[in-house]
Amino acid sequence: MALWARQASRWCHLLKAACAAEFPGRLRGCSSTAQACHGFAPWALLPSPNGALLWRLQAHRHVSVGGCSPPDSAKDGSFSSPESNLPSPVKQEQAKAETLPDLNAKTLYEDWDDVPPSSALEEISEEEAVQIIAEPLLPLQSSTLRDYVDHSETLAKLVHLGVDLSQVEKRQKAGQLLLTLDFEKDIRKILLFLKDVGVEDNQLGPFLTKNPYILGEDLEALETRVAYLKSKKFGKAEIAQMVSRAPYLLLFSVERLDNRLGFFKNELDLSVKKTKDLVIRLPRLLTGKLEPVKENLQVCQIELGFQRNEIQQIVFKTPKILTASKKRLRQTFDYLHNIMGLPHHMLTRFPQVFNSKLLRIKERHMFLTFLGRAQYDPAQPSYISLDQLVSLPDEVFCTEIAKASIQDFEKFLKTL
């Protein structure tokens, strides 16, 4: 505002000087420069072929009408308009100035060779309305894949297939991967491959829920890994079982798979056939970490005192012992060996006992001891095998092993 005031003041001074030069009599009645400029209009500054003269004339017109006192002739009632006193050439120039084009919107649009924008209130026909397609807005950021299902054909089809997106999004970068894939181009070929491997249709959804990363794998690499397993004499049904039970198996390269098989063969001193049988029964041995496996083998040999050949038998019969908790392994062995008095060779013969809950073993052993039937030596009468001790349901255990009722067993447990 300060800049505009300074410019206005400067123009007023110039205006006064110009008018005084050409029409000295017209400014004699002006009280001050500010009053002379009171009627000055900015549109008088628009350019014209005779810019200087037009500016002076327009400025003079506003000064004479709005800023100066009336001349002497007006006092006696004979006041004449300022235009009537102008010379003829000046009147012509003023007439030209007063016929400036109307700068309305229509003229501007014609000059700019443009079409005026349509109004939001403008009515359109039904045909035009049905042609308007409003795309749904894609969330810029979200913490759940659910917000993208309505916008992504890929996610919608995966949900229809049975994939649990709430579980997928918990896996690192799995959600971002799915949003970058095209179902027809990227995913369909992987689904056909999995079906060819042997994954059942009703298992595709659960399989991809556990391992969505396989959708980003190269199909040729996946086929190479399956071909490697076949070269190691794994049958089609065995490969299907391994892939279904260990969904991450096909993410491992041929080199890693070969190293894993070699590790178990050499560490346990197993034959090729027994190594195959071991990983078929527990295929996640090929995909899990090897450090816990090495630690459990050391615990069995050093802390629990099993011989190497005994460990081999235990692992071959019960592969889960390789991935069991070391604490649980120590506690179970301590109770079986030190409390129940079972020797190493008996535990080697029935290693399934290590997979049972320790509380179950304690409750049943104490009940048999209370009844005087805790006999685990096969050379003695009324022998009870460890397999029967831990595998039978409570009712069968009570009637066939303990020779008591289930009510007696429940009453005994309440006394503990």
Write the DSSP string, 25-73.
GGGTTB--HHHHTTT--GGGGS--TTHHHHHHHHHHHHIIIIIBPPPHH
Are 332 and 300 in contact, with CB atoms under 8 Å apart? no
Question: What is the mean pLDDT of the segment spanning 305-316?
Answer: 94
Clarify whether residues 279 and 244 are in a common domain: yes
Question: What is the mean pLDDT of the segment spanning 289-318?
Answer: 94
Q: Would you state the structure tokens that stand for residue 337, as one six-digit string?
A: 């060996």
Residue 40 has pLDDT above 60, yes or no: no
**147-151, 243-247, 252-256: range with lowest mean pLDDT:** 147-151
Query: Per the domain annotation, does 411 fall within a domain?
Result: no
Residue 335 has pLDDT above 80, yes or no: yes
Q: Would you state the structure tokens that stand for residue 394, as one six-digit string?
A: 């409570």
Decide: pTM greater than 0.75: no
Residue 397 has pLDDT above 70, yes or no: yes
Q: What is the pLDDT of residues 345-379, one digit of tens each?
A: 999 999 999 999 999 999 999 999 999 999 999 88
Q: What is the pLDDT of residues 46-91, one digit of tens each?
A: 344 444 434 443 444 443 334 444 444 434 444 344 444 444 444 4
* Res. 305 pLDDT band, cuts 50 70 90: very high
Query: Per the domain annotation, does 113 fall within a domain?
Result: no
Average pLDDT, the chain: 78
The candidate with the shortest Cα–Cα distance to 252, out of 280, 289, 282, 278, is 289
Query: Per the domain annotation, does 317 fall within a domain?
Result: no
Residue 36 has pLDDT above 60, yes or no: no
Residue 100 has pLDDT above 90, yes or no: no
Query: Per the domain annotation, does 384 fall within a domain?
Result: no
Answer with the residue of higher pLDDT: 414 or 10: 414
Which of 268, 288, 308 is a domain's end point? 288
Clarify whether residues 239 and 212 are in a common domain: no
Clarify whether residues 165 and 198 are in a common domain: yes
Clarify whether residues 260 and 211 are in a common domain: no
Alpha carbons 218 and 200: distance in angstroms, whole number: 21
Clarify whether residues 239 and 266 are in a common domain: yes
Clarify whether residues 241 and 268 are in a common domain: yes
Clarify whether residues 151 and 212 are in a common domain: yes
Phi (first) and psi of residue 217, to 5 degrees:
-80, 155
- Quote the number of domains for the chain: 2
CA atoms within 13 A on the CB side of 224: 13
Clarify whether residues 209 and 240 are in a common domain: no
Query: Per the domain annotation, does 203 fall within a domain?
Result: yes
Clarify whether residues 159 and 198 are in a common domain: yes
Q: Would you state the structure tokens that stand for residue 116, as one six-digit string?
A: 């005026």
Q: Would you state the structure tokens that stand for residue 277, as one six-digit string?
A: 């049988």
Instruction: List, in sequence order, every residue forming a beta bridge with 199; answer none if it has no partner.
Output: none
Query: Per the domain annotation, does 272 fall within a domain?
Result: yes
Question: What is the mean pLDDT of the segment spanning 288-297?
Answer: 94
CB atoms within 10 A of CB 363: 16
Helices (H) and strands (E) in the chain, counts: 24, 0
Q: What is the pLDDT of residue 129?
A: 62
Amino acid at 363: E
Number of residues that this document lists for the chain? 416
Alpha carbons 173 and 169: distance in angstroms, whole number: 8
275 burial class (0-12, 13-18, 19+ CB within 10 angstroms)? buried
Clarify whether residues 206 and 249 are in a common domain: no
State which residues form the domain around 207: 145-216
Query: Per the domain annotation, does 54 fall within a domain?
Result: no
Are 318 and 351 in contact, with CB atoms under 8 Å apart? yes
Query: Per the domain annotation, does 308 fall within a domain?
Result: no
The candidate with the shortest Cα–Cα distance to 326, out of 293, 289, 359, is 293
Q: Three-class SS of residue 393?
A: coil
Clarify whether residues 190 and 253 are in a common domain: no
Clarify whether residues 186 and 240 are in a common domain: no
Question: What is the mean pLDDT of the segment spanning 220-233?
Answer: 96
